[in-house]
Chain A
Amino acid sequence: MSEIALVNSPNVGLDKTQKGGPYVNELSTLNLGPTHPATHGIFQNILTMDGETIVDAEQTVGYIHRAFEKIAERRPFYQITTLTDRMNYCSAPINNMGWHMTVEKLLGIEVPKRAQYMRVIMMELARLTDHIVCNSILAVDTGALTGFLYVYQWREFIYEIYEEMCGARLTTNMGRFGGMERDFTPVAIEKIQKLLKELPAALKEFEGLVMRNRIFMDRTQNVGGISAERALNYGFTGPNLRAAGVDYDVRSMNPYSSYEDFEFDVPVGTKGDTYDRFLVREEEMWQSLRIIQQAMDNLPEGPYHADAPHYYLPDKQDVYHNMEALIYHFKIVMGEIDAPVGEVYHSVEGGNGELGFHLVSDGGRTPYRLKFRRPGFIYYQAFPEMIKGTTLSDAIVTMSSMNVIAGELDT
């Protein structure tokens, strides 16, 4: 591991009376990151170590800060969707649709039921990819590569569904203000049905390999735990908070996009340790499949977008053959349409927590102020507290199971 530089610090806490040579109780500084393969992103942690035990940790973040909030103050609403892709890129459709719903709230657009169900399906697919990445990489970090390979191909398959729905895979820019940009194609429906039929077997296989695996359990149980009170005080949301035993889920507490129509459980853990976070994410994947199944079974007929020509980007076919569509296309793309004055907050249950958009509009073509509530930014600050007193290898799995995404943290 060439990235780790071991530097001797001054003899802090040196106790010469103790047996075992002069290095006993000597603290050393270990620089973990910023580019380290085990941190899955650009994070720097300066660890103070006492032998193998972590005494203290100091974090440096912001290595991929791209000033999204500042850029958003210059961009028309329509163009901000592409910024949201690049935050939590493991579940980009959730970010896109969270932003669309925020603006719809400001504009007062009522989205048709079919579009809402389609959004739910795409958001739950995004949650599946997010949790597949997090859990399988956690297994890899503990040394189990095989399970990762079994489930990762299904993430690839979900990306194919994205491609079918919007043409892109990672940074999706999916959906529009007022609904979706296109209806489900027969291929998309076929692929979702295939996923619903075949992913459970792969998930079961993965769980069979990892969940009751002795080595995995030893590596993750009682590692990086946090109590419910501390988690709430640190602003935890999402699976990390639920692993600590608090059943806060935006989908059930403040339902959006027709989540109230679906029946699903909110799994909670007890200890808030790495193993609990893993189990909560596993169960959430099963619940996501359940929601997608219900949405597919009850998918309403009707339009897949709202009738809001001022804000809904028209179909490309119409742009070439219809005067009004051409005008609106131009006005929307160039950002010529003003939004009403108002202040709105909307949050969705992102892959790793409550993803919020606090939008202040002064009636112009761009937001006056847009604040992203990024769950990763908020809960990552608890990391030093969670790893104090553990070893380096524990810190790696703790970080992996927290699902901190650098792009989201740094905006």
Chain B
Amino acid sequence: MNDKIIEALLAQFGEEGVYGIGESHGILQVTTEVENIVPMIHFLYAHPVFKFQFLTDLAGIHFPEAKGQELGVIYHLHSLENNVRLWIKAYAPIEAPNFPTITGLFATANWMEREAFDFYGIIFDGHPNLTRILNMDEMDYHPMRKEYPLEDATRHDKIDELFGR
């Protein structure tokens, strides 16, 4: 099944649209360009055999070292009929982290995208209500980005050396 999916995706989007093909612990993954996300997910959703009609999860991720591709989104699709899972990954530069929304296809993407916006500052163009969800509205940064250390840097009572860090 995985080979067929790759074949169909390559036929539809070409080699410049589908790359980074691999399998990680049983889950197929592909990487694509931001502009291909919506057509690809629609294609897999409407495909008569694959039927990826369940969005399991949507995760933001930050790679500060990858210049021009700092912020990523991992779409985790699940075809309940074939019991096949698929990760679609796409990356965008941190200066313009714009991704298209998929709330039109999956109602569940609403809060998932709000969460990715809240924690990574990823902008989902066309989202009906792109506001913070778990953090407070007054927060002026996106806390899951790697440049923010976990602990308050102004604290003096925790000396890293004493804690073996």
Q: Which residue of B lies closest to A229 (CB)?
A: B53
Q: Which residue of B lies closest to A379 (CB)?
A: B108
The answer to whether B59 touches A382, judged by C-beta atoms less than 8 angstroms apart, is no
Which residues of B40-77 are within 8 A (CB) of A?
53-57, 59, 61-62, 74, 76
Residues of A contacting B59 with CB < 8 Å?
358, 369, 371
Residues of A contacting B80 with CB < 8 Å?
232, 246, 248, 253
The answer to whether A345 touches B135, judged by C-beta atoms less than 8 angstroms apart, is no
Q: Which residue of B lies closest to A67 (CB)?
A: B143
The answer to whether A373 touches B25, judged by C-beta atoms less than 8 angstroms apart, is no
Residues of B contacting A71 with CB < 8 Å?
150
The answer to whether B143 touches A356, judged by C-beta atoms less than 8 angstroms apart, is no
The answer to whether A342 touches B24, judged by C-beta atoms less than 8 angstroms apart, is yes
Min CB–CB distance A354 → chain B (angstroms): 7
Residues of B contacting A373 with CB < 8 Å?
56-57, 76
0/1 string, A192-227, CB within 8 A of B gives 1 = 000000000000000000000000000000000000
Residue in B83, B85, B107, B134 whose CB lies within 8 Å of A410: B134
A371 to B115, CA, bound (A): 11
The answer to whether A343 touches B107, judged by C-beta atoms less than 8 angstroms apart, is no
A105 to B29, CA, bound (A): 17
- A317: Cβ under 8 A from any B Cβ: no
Min CB–CB distance B118 → chain A (angstroms): 9
Residues of B contacting A65 with CB < 8 Å?
134-135
The answer to whether A344 touches B83, judged by C-beta atoms less than 8 angstroms apart, is no
- B9: Cβ under 8 A from any A Cβ: no
The answer to whether A61 touches B133, judged by C-beta atoms less than 8 angstroms apart, is yes
- CB contact under 8 A between A411 and B54, given known A233-B106, A233-B108, A344-B25: no
Min CB–CB distance A48 → chain B (angstroms): 16
0/1 string, A368-403, CB within 8 A of B gives 1 = 010101000111011000000000000000000000
- A360: Cβ under 8 A from any B Cβ: yes
Residues of B contacting A232 with CB < 8 Å?
53-54, 80
The answer to whether B150 touches A381, judged by C-beta atoms less than 8 angstroms apart, is no
Residues of B contacting A230 with CB < 8 Å?
107
Q: Total interface residues on B, using CB and 8 Å?
A: 35
The answer to whether B112 touches A378, judged by C-beta atoms less than 8 angstroms apart, is yes
The answer to whether A73 touches B54, judged by C-beta atoms less than 8 angstroms apart, is no
Q: Which residue of A lies closest to B115 (CB)?
A: A377
Residue in A70, A253, A345, A410 whose CB lies within 8 Å of B144: A70
Q: Which residue of A lies closest to B108 (CB)?
A: A235
A65 to B118, CA, bound (A): 12
- CB contact under 8 A between A345 and B55, given known A69-B119, A378-B108, A381-B110: no
0/1 string, B2-28, CB within 8 A of A gives 1 = 000000000000000000000011010
Residues of A contacting B27 with CB < 8 Å?
345
Residue in B25, B76, B135 whose CB lies within 8 Å of A342: B25
Residues of B contacting A410 with CB < 8 Å?
134
A73 to B145, CA, bound (A): 11
Q: Which bucket holds chain A's interface residue count?
A: 35 or more
Q: Which residue of A lies closest to B119 (CB)?
A: A69
Min CB–CB distance A322 → chain B (angstroms): 23
- A55: Cβ under 8 A from any B Cβ: no
The answer to whether A411 touches B134, judged by C-beta atoms less than 8 angstroms apart, is yes
Q: In this complex, which of B29, B61, B85, B136 has the most chain A Cβ atoms within 10 angstroms of its Cβ?
A: B61
Residues of B contacting A67 with CB < 8 Å?
143
The answer to whether B150 touches A234, judged by C-beta atoms less than 8 angstroms apart, is no
Q: Which residue of A lies closest to B27 (CB)?
A: A345
Residue in A61, A74, A233, A344 whose CB lies within 8 Å of B134: A61
- A168: Cβ under 8 A from any B Cβ: no
The answer to whether A345 touches B25, judged by C-beta atoms less than 8 angstroms apart, is yes
The answer to whether A69 touches B144, judged by C-beta atoms less than 8 angstroms apart, is yes
0/1 string, B100-132, CB within 8 A of A gives 1 = 000000111011100100010000000000001
Q: Which residue of A lies closest to B164 (CB)?
A: A334
A356 to B76, CA, bound (A): 11
The answer to whether B61 touches A382, judged by C-beta atoms less than 8 angstroms apart, is no
Residue in A235, A347, A356, A369 whose CB lies within 8 Å of B61: A369
- CB contact under 8 A between A354 and B143, given known A69-B119, A342-B24, A381-B108: no
* A and B contact pairs by CB, cutoff 8 A, 27 listed: A62-B133, A69-B119, A70-B143, A70-B144, A105-B25, A106-B25, A232-B54, A233-B107, A233-B108, A234-B108, A235-B54, A235-B56, A235-B107, A235-B108, A246-B80, A248-B80, A253-B83, A342-B24, A342-B25, A343-B25, A371-B74, A377-B111, A377-B115, A378-B108, A378-B112, A381-B110, A382-B107
Q: Beyond A74-B150, A345-B76: 16 further Cβ-contacts under 8 Å?
A: A61-B133, A62-B132, A62-B135, A67-B143, A70-B150, A232-B53, A233-B106, A235-B54, A235-B108, A246-B80, A248-B80, A253-B83, A254-B83, A358-B57, A373-B56, A377-B115
Interface residues of A (CB under 8 A from B): 61-62, 65, 67, 69-71, 73-74, 105-106, 230, 232-235, 246, 248, 253-254, 334, 342-347, 354, 356, 358, 360, 369, 371, 373, 377-379, 381-382, 410-411
Interface residues of B (CB under 8 A from A): 24-25, 27, 29, 53-57, 59, 61-62, 74, 76, 80, 83, 85, 87, 106-108, 110-112, 115, 119, 132-136, 143-144, 150, 164
